[in-house]
A and B are shown apart, each in its own frame.
Chain A
Amino acid sequence: MSDEPQDRRVDRRSFLARMGALGAAAALGTPFAASGSGHFDRTGLRGSSPEGAREFWQGVRRTLPASVDSPAELTASEAAVLIREGTLDPVELVEACLDRIGRWDDRYLAFNTVLAEEARASARALNSEGDDAGLLRGIPLAVKDNYYTEGVLTTANSHIFRDFRPEWDAEAVRRLRSAGGIVIGKTQMGPLATTRALTPDGKITTVNAWTPANPSVSPGGSSSGSATAVAARMASSSIGTQTGGSITVPALAQGLTGLKPTMGRVSLRGVIPLTYSRDHPGPIARDARDAALLLQVMAGPDPADPRTLGLPPVPDYLTAATPRGDQEDEPIRWPTRLGVLPGWADGDDPAASGRRAFLREMEAAGVRMVEVTPSEQWDELSSSLMNAVRLPERTEPFLEYLREDVRLFGVSLNSWMQGLFLSADEYLKGQRARHALLASTLDEIFGHCDAVVQTGHVPFDMIGLPLLALPTGHRPTEDGPRPHGILLGAPPFGEERLLSIAAAWQTRTEHHRVRPPVLDELREARLLPPAGASRGRLSAEDVAERSQ
């Protein structure tokens, strides 16, 4: 196990010089490519040392809840510990999740497809495999409906894919299953990964698990169903994709820990593309430990996705997410400088109080605060203007469908059409701006710190750097308490650093353990609208405006 995280061992100057060549090579990658990489350690321990894994499981064991109403209330790591110890049967865990889906998902509408029988069969099969079944043995996972799943509908909530049953699993899904994970269902999403979960024609589907009686409160998009499934304890953990905030926004909206890894860290083969150069697969989890567990399994090179090749080896995320147990007063794993933007913690609202509490606790945990002030040029380079450069990348792979019938795009059509009207010189201008933004980020921000607080996801989405969202508290609303949280960014391959900070925070606080209201109680109190009642709709203009 390394004594320092990977972000300290990267040569940034040579990487800046090399980016152009990698960009050209990676352009060959296509999610429509054929299957078959086979390079995977089925234990899911790639990058994790036996010592790191042991320390991780010991840490989880120490903080197990004294009792739970249902195994579905356990985090993925907690359930995994109990399964490894033989005190929880994977079948029991799967049944607990299916029971909740059966009772509640007519209100949450988190799932497009529930794989009840397949999940039961997988759980039963794992019981005969013993301890060799991998890191995620028996863990029920919700998978966003833009990941290919063999023989299972993969719709991306779009007319285009309404009958699409892939013949193979996306590489990320294949790895999760190989490590013993059980896909319990495919989750609702924004049509083609654009905005909050909707039908292709714009009707609101998934609700926020914190406000199931009020569909106007966004569950966060576009990985809405994955977040609601986990927040409502219908799956132990989940995966989403992020092109413009689609992991971190739903995580923040629903009190979860979402991690968008560095571009290339997780294969995109078998993910329906939205923007080749900005799509990122990653976990939406209950806490940092669960995010580490999933990323440990998902990460690594895939010969069929050149974006994943030639990168630093997969490090030990489990260790990163394990606070130092023997130093309770200083649980941060590595010496860390956290960049704080001027005014970031100012304000009188609960979210600002949460930000200040985070800074206080992190200082107490040994993190050194450093004020960082990005330049005006940094702001320009990461503006909504430069963000628009992503649009031709979404249009190009879908041209045949645009020619076939534009109605296939439903309410998502506008941004696909806009992508046809950016010229090549303007597109190149945007790629040059991304290069400038990255250099500016490394110099103005990460020249002074190891991780940085962020106020939005766009800059780090544009340049493929890792982002982590975590909850910092809850604020009262007329719909009941709703979570708030913060975003942290890191330099290339800084996932360990982000996980170490999140784990230190979550060791000292309980916000990530607070669950949304129990649906049965709302139902008994007659606080829910009738099942099947209209939830409203978004127009094409709404979707284009909110598009990821």
Chain B
Amino acid sequence: MRLRLVPRLKPSPVALYGAPVLAIALTVTFGFFLFLGIGRDPWAALYAYFIAPVNSAFGLSEWLLAALPLALIGLGLAVGFRANIWNIGAEGQLVLGAIGGGAVALALWREDVPGTFVLVCVAGALAGMAWAAIPALLRTKFNANEILTSLMLIYVADQLLGWLVHGALRNPQGFGFPESRLFSPEAVMPLLWPGTRLHIGWLALPVAALAVWFLMNHMVAGFRLRVGGDAANAATYAGFSRSRMVWLSFLLTGGLAGLVGAMEVAGPVGQLLPKISPGYGFAAIIVAFLGRLNPVGVVLAAHLLALILIGGENVQMLGVPVAVAQLFQGVLLVTLLASDVLVRYRVVRVGRLGERARG
């Protein structure tokens, strides 16, 4: 006797919602013994992971702030991924957004223009779109693989930022440190929640989630993207232009990633630094898939991932080695993705085939 996976005719609703619960339960069980095994108090470690980050107003605000970039970029990526268009370079588009937004903030430094932060955000989004337009153009004109081009442009963007903060955008009174001036108060994102670092940019999240949901479910363009992903031949047959799909998804993601970059430098950071993002553009790829490319799912996945990133930092303060913290995060992601199998397949027990065929 052995177990076999049999495809379900349609996804099981029980498994659809049960699978993430099962994954988290398995991870917590695994983590319990993991922390016990290395001689730490498992209850304290799990508390530090899942409760401590959100049991104070400040913790809650930091959690929302960390989830914001992941969610915004993940929403954009989910649109393209749905059509099998692979923008892997959101990290680079984010960096360009930081450069574009930062450049506007520095150009208007001490100019006392009210609402400069709006211009900063717009400039960031436009810069991100411009960076994303490069792989889109290479794909549509020369059929260059967008995975490679968008990925490689990340490193170009990093170098560009480094060159600017060492040169043109460096703080003249900064004793030669590779960083820009601190932005004027007009260029900094106003706070949404006084006393915390959560800024007004958070409002973009519900707007973007709603807009992506509406695009994908109610607009002709979103329908075409879904057809392009489900059956490329059907999209060709129906006369849906692949080039337009590539442009739409790249510009959308580039714009959102650029906005995130601008909001990072005009928000918690307040100036241009050689390193802006701790890898939001990469983590957002995981977020998009974890959220099943569905807007609500992406927002939830972003908050889950933000939680375990913050939790990972917390347990290190308890003396848990960083490798163990990362191991725990890895286990959560693997069990989440593995439990996905149960949504589309059911497990059946089968006898040995030969015996039954003869019987």
- A associates with B: no
Residues of B within 8 A of A (CB): none
Residues of A within 8 A of B (CB): none
